[in-house]
Structure 1
Amino acid sequence: MEGRPERRWSVVVPAKRLAVAKTRLRPLTDRPDGTGGGHDELVLALLADTVAAITACPAVGDIVVVTDDPRAAALVTGLGARTVADEPDRGLNAALVHGARTAGTGPVAAVSSDLPALRPAELAGALAEAGRLAAAAGGDRCFTADAAGTGTTLLAAATGDLDPHFGPGSAAAHEASGAVRLPARWPGLARDVDTPADLRAAALLGLGPATGALTGD
């Protein structure tokens, strides 16, 4: 990332151990012999396309991937991110708080690891909107809901205090905690992939190269 213009936001991405990640995709990915190797490759491809899009976003200055999986760590390091271990090991929200602390001071955002149709311009637009709201004192924390409107794919904190509430019904939980819901302007940012149907919907938007190479889309 040397020689690139200075960027404002730190972005934290959580990446589960491959053995327990994206289990609802296993009907699509498990091999007949039950080895699950195809599943691991798809999870890594989703992560690769997500991190590559974040890296290419000019509003981002630091990418922290919180993971205990060595393959995931090696992958994202090669893409320009840095990694920290999930030292709290107390679930997603604790991992995000830990990652945000390692990012230091300044604006920080949490982004889901399964956004294969994410475009750098979409992330830049969402972060710019978050920054405008903060400057207008309209809200220090903002989020984007997933395509279903119930989950969260981006949580941005202009003051650096994420206060994450990821989990079932996280969109409502973030709204109840005072975070401002951003408008649904960025389809790739909203399209996370948990199921085979989600992957097909992401393919209609255009998959990143790693996921597309696996699916043929």
Structure 2
Amino acid sequence: MQRWSVVVPAKRLAVAKTRLGPTGTRAAHEELVLAMLGDTLDAVLACPAVASAWVVTDDPRAAAVAAALGARVVPDAPAGLDAAVDHGARASGNPLVAALHSDLPALRTDELAAALSAAAAVRRAFVADADGTGTTLLAVTDGVLDPAFGPGSAAAHAASGAVPLDGGWPGLRRDVDTPAHLAEAARLGTGPRTRAALRAACA
């Protein structure tokens, strides 16, 4: 089986998920962000197609969560998300490398395995988010991610020659930026950390 390195960038908690709005106190908001990271990494590290997970972050609490789960932590690059992803890809040293968002609390291991299996058949592939405009997963087989994350990233990745992967994979496609996204992820069924963080925020 071909095995992948998965790079997961994680922002500093002070600036993470600002569009999500208030989820209880500031502390509760940060706990929710960490919980989503933890649930995402749980699914990644349980995937038989994954050799290693690399979390790119300068946040000490995010780094601690990642390390405790068995991911490797890489200090963040200073020039934004795309630079951070490229930095993690280079650190992995694996030509089979994928970038994955950290806010996929409903991700299932079998979804990720299926997407990576499909990605292995081409040089460059991506999974669009549930809205069809963003990207939740970008995977390459030659070690060169050259990402274009941000608004309109699905179109940008398609224009770069990446093949859109068509699997259903609702948990892989549902990143969480807004309260509506969080509600949808909850309907799909989040991992235990996110469920606990949501219960605590509502208590």
Among residues 176, 179, 188, which one is paired with 1:196 in the alignment? Answer: 179
Task: State the alpha-carbon separation in 2 of the partners of residues 81 and 105 from structure 1.
Answer: 15
Task: Give me the TM-score of the superposition, normalised by structure 1.
Answer: 0.89
Shift of 1:30: 4.1
Task: Give me the TM-score of the superposition, normalised by structure 2.
Answer: 0.95
2:118 pairs with 1:129: yes
Shift of 1:184: 3.8
Equivalent residue for 1:26? 21
Query: Unpaired runs of 5+ in structure 1?
Result: 1-5, 135-139
Task: State the alpha-carbon separation in 2 of the partners of residues 59 and 185 from structure 1.
Answer: 19
Task: State the alpha-carbon separation in 1 of the partners of residues 44 and 191 from structure 2.
Answer: 12
Task: State the alpha-carbon separation in 2 of the partners of residues 157 and 113 from structure 1.
Answer: 18
Task: State the alpha-carbon separation in 2 of the partners of residues 103 and 62 from structure 1.
Answer: 8
Among residues 128, 145, 158, which one is paired with 1:162 in the alignment? Answer: 145
- Root-mean-square deviation (CA, aligned residues, Å) is 1.3
Q: Determine if contact 1:150/1:171 at 8 Å carries over to the other structure.
A: yes
2:64 pairs with 1:81: no
Query: Unpaired runs of 5+ in structure 2?
Result: none
After TM superposition, where is structure 1 displaced by more than 3 Å over at least 4 residues in a row?
Answer: none
Task: State the alpha-carbon separation in 2 of the partners of residues 7 and 22 from structure 1.
Answer: 33
Equivalent residue for 1:137? none
Q: For residues 18-42 of structure 1, what are the alpha-carbon distances to aligned partners after superposition, in whole Å with 9 as ceiling and x for unaligned?
A: 0000001233x142xxxx1111000
2:36 pairs with 1:46: yes
Give the secondary structure class of the aligned counterpart of 2:125.
Answer: strand
Q: For residues 33-66 of structure 1, what are the alpha-carbon distances to aligned partners after superposition, in whole Å with 9 as ceiling and x for unaligned?
A: xxx1111000000100000100000000011000
Among residues 3, 11, 19, which one is paired with 1:8 in the alignment? Answer: 3
Q: Determine if contact 2:5/2:94 at 8 Å carries over to the other structure.
A: no
Residue-pair matches, total: 200
Q: Determine if contact 2:78/2:84 at 8 Å carries over to the other structure.
A: yes
Q: Determine if contact 1:143/1:182 at 8 Å carries over to the other structure.
A: yes
Q: Which has the higher contact order (CA 8 A, sep 6+)?
A: 2
Task: Quote the sequence identity (%).
Answer: 64
Shift of 1:113: 0.2
Give the secondary structure class of the aligned counterpart of 2:150.
Answer: coil
